[in-house]
Amino acid sequence: MKTKSNKPKYVAWLSTETMHNASKKWLSELEFAKDEQLFFDDLVKSYTLQLIDSKHFNESKSIVTQLSKLQKETDKLIETIKKHERELKIMVDGIDQIELENAYKDEHGKLIITIADFLDIYRKLKTQLFALVKGILKDKKQKRLLQ
């Protein structure tokens, strides 16, 4: 049985400035996500009683678990991007190191995909969390109106 290669067939040429700017943008987005995650932790703590209610328990447990995993992954990605940014000197040092430069470009290509996937998953989780809290707030409002 033959295995297929997962190498991209088309690789765009990226300048060092483009890669540097992409790394800065990723760091900015990940740092913002990290700050947002602190807000989400506070949000979950504020609505703990409602989240453990039998009506919302399974969904809230799943979301809180995913949020915890994403917090750890965010920290790992931030460190990976910082390391990647420090290694950019390979590209601009004026010394021809073809293998190292190609390895750096390959890593950058993989990071493009990794960060895009992470941010996609993160946005979906945010949507789920806000929908859950919105539902809790609606239930709370309805109960108050009925009293």
What is the sign, positive or negative, of the torsion defined by CA atoms of 49, 51, 57, 61?
Answer: negative
Assess if residue 7 is contained within a domain.
no
Could you give the number of structural domains in the chain? 1
pLDDT tens for the 147 residues of the chain, in order:
454 555 554 455 678 888 889 999 999 999 999 999 999 999 888 888 887 876 778 888 888 899 999 999 999 999 999 999 998 888 777 777 888 888 888 999 999 999 999 999 999 999 999 998 888 888 777 766 666
Query: Tokens standing for 3?
Result: 């295995």
Query: Tokens standing for 108?
Result: 């950058």
Sequence-distant (≥ 6) Cβ neighbours of residue 128 within 8 angstroms: 59, 63
Tokens 């409602």 map to which residue? Answer: 50
Assess if residue 113 is contained within a domain.
yes
Distance between CA atoms of 23 and 54, rounded to whole angstroms?
Answer: 43
- Angle formed by the axes of helices 98-146 and 57-86, nearest 10°: 150
Half-sphere exposure of 81 (CA within 13 A, CB side): 24
Assess if residue 112 is contained within a domain.
yes
Assess if residue 6 is contained within a domain.
no
